[in-house]
């Protein structure tokens, strides 16, 4: 196949045709085009596949009926040979092809078809097929790049979540070992002063300092629990129930927890995602929902962990759910993906909000 350099660009055509006369007619018609076409004719299926494999081709033209096979057979063999690759545009150019055969060809992925008595339209048909093919190839490439980008983002999110949890654990240990130890030492010193002093003014200051110290100890314990939920060592159910009781105690909002069974066993990664989802949802309810009742349901039916947190508060509009700075909700979505789960948040103004986490329990998620 020798290139024709008289015009630019050049389109290389593989012509599957058993009639030399029809091949010359195609060449004659395409000579009138503004595009330079270079044609190479083959007659047999093996020769066709060999050329498609070894030569650069922009377009394939094929007669519908050839000795011993059809254009559909050639297209099917070409697809099998291409594997995951994308074959070039494939156009049937036939003297007679019935409508059912033409429809079947298009359904199979063939770009287009044209009757030989409409040969004047060939350049237009080829141009359109090439444009559609290029558009599809560009979209496939964009989809591939997008999928790769999403995978990288998911890996980065998982890494960041893991790093955050490790940092939280490290801070919790420091709070426990350093701050907790110092507060305990101060408490012992205040107790010693209280035992060895009889002055009313000093004792009053000691008692006031002791109350403040107890408040600081309680705050440090809450900080440690938020940073590293040791309650998860007792299982997901115990952790969710603890969050519910603590939320009800702090806010006064009636909170009910329902579970599908007494013991729900899941891996540590899934436990942590479910715990943080419950924690974030309850925090949002306390801040914004103005709710009087919260219901938490936890189930592992049909191999899927399902956690649903529902409130009867003022709800959220679609705009609020989708606003760019809704990092809490977006973070929950990304956290769910780290364990191959998904999150659904549904809400309507005045009708409350529902947060549902679903995680398949197949495989090892330790």
Architecture of the CATH domain 10-141: 3-Layer(aba) Sandwich (3.40)
- Please check the confidence at residue 116 and state whether its pLDDT lies above 80: yes
Instruction: Name 277's Cβ contacts closer than 8 Å, sequence gap at least 6.
Output: 307, 309, 332, 335, 336, 343, 355, 357
Compute the distance between CA of residue 253 and CA of residue 250 in angstroms, rounded to an integer. 8
Q: What percent of the chain has pLDDT over 90?
A: 42
Checking if the pLDDT of 6 tops 60, the result is no
Question: Average pLDDT for residues 142-163, to the nearest whole number?
Answer: 81
Whether 91 and 68 have beta carbons less than 8 Å apart is answered as no
Q: Judge whether residue 185 has pLDDT over 90.
A: no
Higher pLDDT, 229 or 353: 353
Domain segments of the chain as ranges: 10-141, 163-227, 232-360
Per-residue pLDDT band for 365 (boundaries 50, 70, 90) equals very low
> How far, in Å, CA of 79 to CA of 105, rounded?
13
Question: Could you tell me the fold of the domain covering 232-360?
Answer: Heat Shock Protein 90 (3.30.565)
Query: What average pLDDT score do residues 267-276 get?
Result: 90
pTM: 0.54
Residue 5, pLDDT score: 45
**DSSP assignment of 196-256:** H---HHHHHHHHHHHHHHHHHHHHHHHHHHHHS-GGGGG-HHHHHHHHHHHHHHHH--EEE
Number of H helices, E strands in the chain: 11, 12
CB 316 within 8 A of CB 286: no
- Average the pLDDT over 224-229 and give the result: 72
* 10-141 and 163-227 share one fold: no
User: CATH assignment of 163-227, given 1.20.58, 1.10.150, 1.10.1760, 1.10.3470?
Assistant: 1.20.58
The sign of the CA dihedral 186, 189, 195, 196 is: negative
Q: What is the pLDDT of residue 45?
A: 95
Ranked by mean pLDDT, the top range of 4-18, 82-96, 221-235 is 82-96
Mean of pLDDT values over 219-241: 81
**pLDDT of 161 higher than 80:** no
Q: Which of 1-5, 236-240, 253-257, 322-326 has the lowest mean pLDDT?
A: 1-5
Say how far apart CA 272 and CA 307 lie, in whole Å.
12
pLDDT at 324 over 60: no
Query: Is the pLDDT higher at 85 or at 241?
Result: 241
In which band, very low, low, confident or very high, does the pLDDT at 151 lie, cut at 50, 70 and 90? confident
pLDDT band (50, 70, 90) for residue 16: very high
The band of 321, judged by pLDDT with boundaries at 50, 70 and 90, is low
Query: Residue 109: phi, psi to the nearest 5?
Result: 110, 0
Rounded to 5 degrees, what angle do the CA atoms 110, 67, 50 make? 60
Average pLDDT for the chain: 86
């Amino acid at each position: 196949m020798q290139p024709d350099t008289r015009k630019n660009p050049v389109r290389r055509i593989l012509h599957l045709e058993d009639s030399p006369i029809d091949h010359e007619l195609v060449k004659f018609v395409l000579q009138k085009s503004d595009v330079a076409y270079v044609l190479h004719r083959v007659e047999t299926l093996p020769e066709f596949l060999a050329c498609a494999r070894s030569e650069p081709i922009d377009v394939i033209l094929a007669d519908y009926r050839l000795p011993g096979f059809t254009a559909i057979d050639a297209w099917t063999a070409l697809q099998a040979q291409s594997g995951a690759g994308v074959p070039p545009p494939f156009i049937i150019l036939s003297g007679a092809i019935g409508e059912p055969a033409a429809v079947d060809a298009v359904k199979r992925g063939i770009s287009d078809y044209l009757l030989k008595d409409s040969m004047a339209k060939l350049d237009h048909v080829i141009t359109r097929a090439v444009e559609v093919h290029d558009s599809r190839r560009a979209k496939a490439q964009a989809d591939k790049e997008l999928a790769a980008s999403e995978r990288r983002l998911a890996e980065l999110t998982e890494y960041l979540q893991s790093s955050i949890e490790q940092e939280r654990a490290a801070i919790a240990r420091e709070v426990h070992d350093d701050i907790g130890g110092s507060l305990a030492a101060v408490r012992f010193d205040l107790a010693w002063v209280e035992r060895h002093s009889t002055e009313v003014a000093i004792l009053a200051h000691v008692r006031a300092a002791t109350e403040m110290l107890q408040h600081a100890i309680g705050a440090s314990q809450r900080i440690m629990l938020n940073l590293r939920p040791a309650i998860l060592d007792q299982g997901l159910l115990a952790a969710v129930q603890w969050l519910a009781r603590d939320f009800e105690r702090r806010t006064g909002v009636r909170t009910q927890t329902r579970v599908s069974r007494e013991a729900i066993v899941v891996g540590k990664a899934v436990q942590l995602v479910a715990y943080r989802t419950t924690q974030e949802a309850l925090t949002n309810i306390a801040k914004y929902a103005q709710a009087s009742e919260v219901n938490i349901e936890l189930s592992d039916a049909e191999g899927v962990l399902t956690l649903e947190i529902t409130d009867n508060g003022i709800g959220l509009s679609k705009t609020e759910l989708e606003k760019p700075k809704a990092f809490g909700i977006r973070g929950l979505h990304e956290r769910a993906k780290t364990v191959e789960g998904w999150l659904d948040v549904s809400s309507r103004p005045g009708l409350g909000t529902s947060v549902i986490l679903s995680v398949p329990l197949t495989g090892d998620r330790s």
